[in-house]
Amino acid sequence: MMKSRLGALAMTGAAAVAMMGLSTGTAQAGIAGYNLCAQATGSVYNSLCLYYNSNQEGSFAAFTRNVADLDPWIFGHIGTPNSAGQGQGVKNNAASAANPGSNCWRVYFNSNYAGASDYIGDSGYRQLVSTYNENASVKAC
Q: Tell me the whole-structure pTM to 2 decimals.
A: 0.75
Read off the pLDDT of residues 11-43 as tens digits, 9 standing for 90 and up.
333 333 333 333 333 444 456 556 667 676 665
Rounded to 5°, angle at Cα 59 from 63 and 73 = 45
**What is the C-alpha separation between 50 and 6, in angstroms, rounded?**
47
Domain range holding 125?
2-140
Domain containing residue 89: CATH number: 2.60.20.10
- Count: domains in the chain: 1
Read off the pLDDT of residues 67-113 as tens digits, 9 standing for 90 and up.
999 999 999 887 776 789 999 999 999 999 998 888 899 999 999 99
